[in-house]
A and B are shown apart, each in its own frame.
Chain A
Amino acid sequence: MKTYVTKRILQMIPLFIGVALVTFLILSLVGDPFTQMMVNPRIRPADIARLKHQWGFDLPIYLRFFKWFWSMLTGNWGLSIFAGGRAVTELVGHAIGWTLKFSLAAFILAFVVSVPIGIYSAIRQYTLFDYVFTGFSFFGMSMPTFWFGFVLLMIFGLKLHWLPIGGIMTPGMESAPFFARVLDQAKYFILPVIVLSFFQMGSWMRYTRSSMLEVVHQDYLRTARAKGLPERTVIVKHALRNALIPIVTLLGLALPGLISGAMITETVFAIPGMGRLTLNAMTSNDFPLAMACLLIESYLLILGNLVADLLYAMVDPRIKYS
C-alpha cells in the first residue's frame, strides 16, 4: 500500500508541472497586458516599458516560466495587476471560501439524493419508480445550468419573492447574531446550490444505477441466493458493497463539473467566488491572478482524482499494491 501511495504521489509531480506549463503557454498567447495599452495614446511608451520590466514581461518566455514557477513554489504568488495591486493570495483566499462553501453543499446534496435513488432504480429496474427517475436524470443532464438559474430566479425571486435574486447576504447582516446570519445566508444559498447540484444529480443517478445493474447480474449473487440468504442481505451485503466501489471514483469525476458549473452559477447568482474571480482575471488579462486561479483549480482536480484513486484502492481488496 505504501509503495502504491508513494507511486501515485510521485506520478502527480510531472502532471503538476505539465499543467502549469500548458496553462502558462495558453495564457501567454494572449500577450502581456501592457502591450495592449499601447493603443491608448495617453500612456507613454516609456511607462509601458517600465511596467513591462517591473512585472517581468520583458524576459524570454522560458525564463519567465521558470521565474514564475519558482516564486509560486516558494509561496510568492505576486500581486494582481488590475485589482488595485492587491496580493493574489488575498484575493484568492477570499473567493475560494465562498466557492468551497457552496460547491461542497451542492456536492453533498447531489450525493445523498442521487446515490440511494440510483441504487433503488437498479433494484426496481423497469418499474414506475425507475422510469420516473430515469426521466428526471436525463432532465438534469440536459439542463443548461445558467438557464435553469434564470428560470429559478424568475419564479422564486421575481414572481413569488420568496428568495433573494442573487448576492451572498442581505446588506447590514454582517454584524447580525450568528444564527440570524446563517439563516440569512441559507436563503441566498438555496437556489445556487440547487442549480449546481442538479446536473450532478442526473449523471450520478445514471452512473450509480448502471454500476448497480452491473453487479446485480454477477455470479456471486446467485451463490448468495443459493445459500438461502434473505433478499435484503443479498442486496445490502453482497450487491451494494460491490456497486459502491466504482461510485468512489465519482468523487474525482465530479470535480471538473463542479468547477466549471461553479463558474456559471456564480455569474448568474452574483457570488464573489473563484469562478467569477477567474473569469474577471481572464477578461482583464490579469496574468498573475489568472495563473493562480487556474492552477488552484487544476491542482484541486488532480488532488481530487488522487483521493478517489486511493479510496478505490482501499475499498477494493483485489487491487494489488506491488
Chain B
Amino acid sequence: MIGELTQQKEVSTRVEGYWYLVGKHLKKHKLAVFSMFLLAIIVLLCVFGPYFTRYTMNEMGNATTDVLQAPSSRHWFGTDELGRDVFTRVLLGGRISLLVGFSSVFSALLVGIVVGAYAGYYGGILDAVLMRFTDIMFSIPVLPLLVVLSSVIPGAGVWKIVLIIAIFGWMTDARIIRGLFLSLRESEFTEAARAIGVSNAGIIWRHLLPNALAPIIVSATLGVGGNIIYEAALSYLGFGVMPPTPSWGNILQNAQYAMTIAPWLVWTPGLAILITAIGFNFLGDGLRDAMDPRLYR
C-alpha cells in the first residue's frame, strides 16, 4: 500500500544510489550497527592487539608460578598449562579464525557464483548437469568428508583448512544464485539488453550479477560466522588448524583436558567464537532487511 502511495517519485537533489539507500536502511537496524562496531573492534584487536600485549604467543612463564593461573591483572584471561598468556593467544587465534572465516567464504562464493550463474542463465543440459552435481555434493555429510580431506591434502597450513571448507561450502551459494538468475534472465531489462545486442557474458556479469549482489553479500556475511564455527569444530575433532599456530578452535580443543581445574581456558575462546558469530549473524540479518529488493523498485 505504501509502495503505491509513494510511487510518484520526485527527483531529489542527492543521487540516491543503491549503496546510499542500503546504508540509510542499515542505520535503522540498531543491532546490525552495533554488531558492525563490535566486529570492527574484534578485528582491530586481533590484528593490532598482539603488538601491544606484554607476551608473545609461545612465551612460557615460570613453570611453578605461571602455569594454569586464573585470570588476574597480569594475565587478563589467565594462563594455560604451559604458562602461556591466554589473552595473547586468543587474539592471535582470532587472526587465524577470522582469516579462515573470510577466505573460505570468499573462495566458496567464487565457485558458487560461477556454477550458479551459468546454470541459471543457460538452463538446459548445463543446468541439469551442474545441479545434479550440486545435489550429490549436498547429500554427502560434510563433516566426515572434511575429516578425510584433511588427511588427504598434504600440509598442515591454514590454507588447507580454507580449501577444505570451500570445497564443501559452495553449494548453497550456487543454489541461491541459480534461483536468482533463473528469474532475472526472464526480466524485461535482460530482454532489453538482449534486444540491444549485449552478449551473454555481458548480460551475466554486467546486468545480472549486480542485481544478485544483495543475497550474495548476505550469504557471505552469515557464512563468515558459520565457517569460523566450522573451523572450530574441525579443530575440536583434531583436523583443523594445527598447533602451535593458535586458532580459537584448537585453543578450545587444548582446553578441554584442563576443564576441571582451569575452566577459564574454556570460557574465553568459546565466548570469542560465540560473540563473533552472533555479530556476523546480526549484521547479515540487518543487511538482508536493508537490501530487501522490495524496498527499491
Residues of A with Cβ closer than 8 Å to B? 14-15, 18-19, 22-23, 26-27, 29-30, 138-139, 141-147, 150-151, 153-154, 158, 256, 259-260, 263-264, 267, 278-279, 282-283, 290, 293-294, 297-298, 301-302, 305
Let me know if B152 is at the binding interface, CB within 8 A: yes
Residues of B with Cβ closer than 8 Å to A? 132-133, 135-145, 147-149, 151-152, 225, 229, 232-233, 236-237, 252, 256, 259-260, 263, 266-267, 270, 273-274, 277-278, 280-282, 285
Q: Is the CB of A19 within 8 A of B136?
A: yes
Q: A279: which B residues are within 8 A, CB to CB? A: 144, 147, 237
The CA of A183 and the CA of B241, in the complex, are separated in Å by 41
> Which of A142, A143, A282 lies at the interface centre, i.e. has the most chain B CB atoms within 10 A of its CB?
A142
**30 A–B contacts from the bound complex (CB under 8 Å):** A19-B136, A19-B139, A19-B140, A23-B140, A26-B149, A30-B151, A141-B277, A141-B281, A142-B225, A144-B273, A144-B274, A145-B229, A146-B233, A147-B252, A150-B259, A151-B266, A153-B259, A158-B259, A158-B260, A256-B138, A263-B143, A264-B143, A264-B233, A282-B147, A282-B148, A283-B147, A297-B144, A298-B140, A301-B138, A301-B141
Using CB atoms, name the residue of chain B closest to A148. B270
The CA of A188 and the CA of B260, in the complex, are separated in Å by 19
Q: Is the CB of B266 within 8 A of A150?
A: yes
Using CB atoms, name the residue of chain B closest to A296. B141
Using CB atoms, name the residue of chain A closest to B255. A150
Other than the given A18-B132, A263-B237, A279-B147, 12 more pairs (CB < 8 A) read: A15-B136, A19-B140, A22-B140, A23-B140, A26-B148, A139-B274, A139-B278, A145-B233, A150-B266, A151-B270, A298-B141, A301-B138
Q: A264: which B residues are within 8 A, CB to CB? A: 143, 233, 236-237
The CA of A153 and the CA of B270, in the complex, are separated in Å by 14
Q: Is the CB of A150 within 8 A of B277?
A: no
Q: Measured between C-beta atoms, what is the minimum distance from B114 to chain A in Å? A: 20
The CA of A279 and the CA of B152, in the complex, are separated in Å by 15
Q: Measured between C-beta atoms, what is the minimum distance from A18 to chain B in Å? A: 4
Q: Measured between C-beta atoms, what is the minimum distance from B108 to chain A in Å? A: 16
Q: Measured between C-beta atoms, what is the minimum distance from B155 to chain A in Å? A: 15
**Chain A interface SS verdict (over half):** helix
Using CB atoms, name the residue of chain A closest to B253. A146
Partner of B233, one of A18, A144, A283: A144
Q: Is the CB of B136 within 8 A of A18?
A: yes
Q: Measured between C-beta atoms, what is the minimum distance from A296 to chain B in Å? A: 10
Q: B252: which A residues are within 8 A, CB to CB? A: 144, 146-147, 150
Q: Measured between C-beta atoms, what is the minimum distance from B133 to chain A in Å? A: 8
Q: Measured between C-beta atoms, what is the minimum distance from A76 to chain B in Å? A: 23
Q: Is the CB of B278 within 8 A of A256?
A: no
The 5 closest A-B pairs by CB, nearest first: A142-B277, A147-B270, A18-B136, A260-B143, A142-B278
Q: A139: which B residues are within 8 A, CB to CB? A: 274, 278
> Which of A139, A259, A260, A267 lies at the interface centre, i.e. has the most chain B CB atoms within 10 A of its CB?
A260
Given A19-B139, A151-B270, A26:B145 Cβ within 8 A: yes
Q: A27: which B residues are within 8 A, CB to CB? A: 148
Q: Is the CB of B148 within 8 A of A297?
A: no
The CA of A187 and the CA of B139, in the complex, are separated in Å by 33
Q: B285: which A residues are within 8 A, CB to CB? A: 138
Partner of A256, one of B142, B263, B273: B142
The CA of A147 and the CA of B144, in the complex, are separated in Å by 19
Partner of A138, one of B135, B267, B281: B281
Using CB atoms, name the residue of chain B closest to A135. B31
Q: A147: which B residues are within 8 A, CB to CB? A: 232, 252, 266, 270, 273-274
Using CB atoms, name the residue of chain B closest to A159. B263
The CA of A230 and the CA of B278, in the complex, are separated in Å by 39
Using CB atoms, name the residue of chain B closest to A143. B274
The CA of A241 and the CA of B263, in the complex, are separated in Å by 48
Q: Is the CB of B132 within 8 A of A294?
A: no
Q: B225: which A residues are within 8 A, CB to CB? A: 142
Q: A19: which B residues are within 8 A, CB to CB? A: 136, 139-140
